[in-house]
Structure 1
Amino acid sequence: MTDPAAAPEGRLTTRQAAELLGVKPATVYAYVSRGLLASRREPTGRGSTFDAAEVSALARRTRREAATPPGELTVRTGLTLIEADRYWFRGVDAVALASRHRYEEVAEWLWTGRLPRGARFTAPPELLAAARRAVAALPEHSGPVDRLRVATAAAAAADPLRFDLSPEAVLGTARSLIPTLVEALPAAGQEHRGEGRLARRLWTRLTALPPDTDPVGALDLALALLTDHDLAASTLAVRVAASAHAHPYACVSAGLGALDGPLHGAAGPLAHRMLLEVMERGGAAPVVADHLRSGRRVPGLGHRLYAGEDPRATALFARLADLPQAGPALAAARDVVAVTARQGRGLHANVDLALSVLTVSYGMPVEAGETVFAVARTAGWIAHVLEEYGERPLRMRPSGQYVGPRPPQPLP
């Protein structure tokens, strides 16, 4: 097959594309068959052409991947940067953004790079009905991640368009899935069906106390602060699923599965229980001593990415300090930090401790922090899904280092 003498404006011939990519023309068509490039047959019938911008983007990706040391997986992302005890969403200070904008607006910023004022998420009736039926069928002792995972699967089954992976479709899924997850949870207080800010609707799933403006604002801040945090274990699981072009519901399910592990999602309930015990015993010293004596870590302290205090905790503590009802739990949290500091352990408060002040202060169940974290992080997972769909499919396929017996071995 020969190239036409010239390609239409903004298009490249097969030969031009091969030169830009540094490969043979036959390899260009191999890229087409693998879904890495889209070709267009020209009306003259003399060959195919390729979008110049798409070829250039693939060339840049290929050069970056070639420069990666063998065996090392790197994940390029333009979403969250963590550096010098601060973190940024798309280059904007994340704490400042979360302090000034609602969770829905922060989610839109991560998804699209735009900040629409007054963004609202609405649960479609068909998806919500399916999710509620599935959640209602679970045993009463089911945990929040159990409910969210089942609600996600039920919503996926009710959505015939779930396999549409175009950016517009994925955004539509995100804006409907998050409120579906919230409203599928059993109500603890007066329901707010499909209206108002998401934090207000989530509040009624976590506590029977009235959704007053200031505490709901603190919950909204927590959601916005927790939206994304680079490549945590659950986020990496999401990107692996997205790399295989699983639909967004399946990708979120992968994140929820990783979050359910004791090393990722269990910190919130542990910190909640510890604060209750500190308040009951009148001080943190005996509680901290019990944890250390039994060889357990003191929950809510330290973060591998921050040398000082977790900036999410700093922001949430500051908001909670303005709420009189949060006073006792906030004092208990500060006592925990002070006691461990006297022992020279050098650990600072993290967001799990700050979130536990909120959950303890307003009579929420011990798993409430886990629920808040999962709902908040769903927006970040979707942002990573959108990024990963734009990468080379199935790129997250490391090679195993075989350590078993060398073949041939006799049959057992």
Structure 2
Amino acid sequence: MQLYSTNQISESVGIEEAIFQGLPSDNGLYMPESIPVLPSSFWENSDKMSLSEIALEIAAAFFEEEIPRKDLQNLIEKAIDFDAPSVEVGENLYCLELFHGPSMAFKDFGARFMAAVMSYFLQKKSRKINILVATSGDTGGAVAQGFYETPNINVIILYPKGKVSEIQEKQLTTLGKNVSALEVDGTFDDCQKLVKTAFLDQELRAKHHLASANSINIARLIPQAFYYAYAYSRLKGKGLPIVFSVPSGNFGNLSAGVIAYKMGMPVQKFVAATNVNKVVPEYLRSGEYSPIKPSISTISNAMDVGDPSNFPRLKALFGNQFEEIKDQIVGFAYTDEETKVAIKELKDNFNYVVCPHTAIAYLGLRDYLVDISKATGVFLSTAHYAKFLPDVEAVLGGKLPIPERLEELISKEKVAQGMTTEYAAFKAYLEKVL
């Protein structure tokens, strides 16, 4: 499969090269020249298939020329060894729980699959690489867990100082070995800019074999389509149109849902639900894209993104046609106060506890369904509530249970290197440690 740059300047490359380059030299994003469409029989019979079987069919459509099917099956079974259940919360209301992996966040799907695929290619060629990744919260923990002790891969994670939860920070600063953390005195957008600038520094990139594990990397995006197809397979028997509401920051998650849609998955609508960093909902309303700089801090911190990196991909999936995007995606944005009300509403009405990001997805779904006929509504839960425990407990007014694997992190010692937002300082650090 060939992939092109959304900026249309760099030459097309194969999927292996796209994965290791991360970004094209023209600062675009890699996209498949065409999205493979799975046969209708796959979607009709998907309810008889397991998550790993569904994942294999989707992955094979992209990787079959580079990875033999049996090898790909082994990679998937190793990487995706946890469930993604669609839990019934109310009548025709479901929560797609994506926090059952090692870091208890949806990004385990992308990070673990990507680590497995990268390691597969590297071991075949006896190569080593250095991963650079920016995180607004959950990416860091998922990448740290996914790549921890992976042969031939060194990982450096950049995160914004004071803008991730304690548990999120501990997940990416306590592993050590091949995983290092940089605490950047700035926003997520500053972290992302440092990483992007490093990738555009051709001398540095070539010298140190740099690669990315952010959702800007196509290998992170493709496996996120797995759980959309899996949710569809479990809910299609309800006989109602399906609506997915996606808590959105960098818009990789929603882009993955659209990839599944373009592969043939029947979906009535996607809801792009954001916090007050409402760049895309405003775009869907006006047709004008106006980044927010700097991004605004909220209690749904993983979505505090003022200039979503994956927005060009989202546009490209619809041929850069605004009317087509608007026809399939509707956007809503919510304040912290509205988010807190939603957390309480879900607990009071359904005895269901969620993190702030999940609450925003619920709000978007609830508000969209007000004006349409009956549908099966699915809101995505991108992280376990315990990763945002102080905020959730403050809203609900009491102590909540913490999964053992997260509770163990709290007592561990944080190890992180401080970093400014200046690229020169970041480059000097890389030259020193790599």
| Between structures 1 and 2, the one with greater helix share | 1
Same fold (TM over 0.5): no
Report the TM-score, using the length of structure 1 for normalisation: 0.27
Report the TM-score, using the length of structure 2 for normalisation: 0.26
Structure whose CA Rg is larger: 1
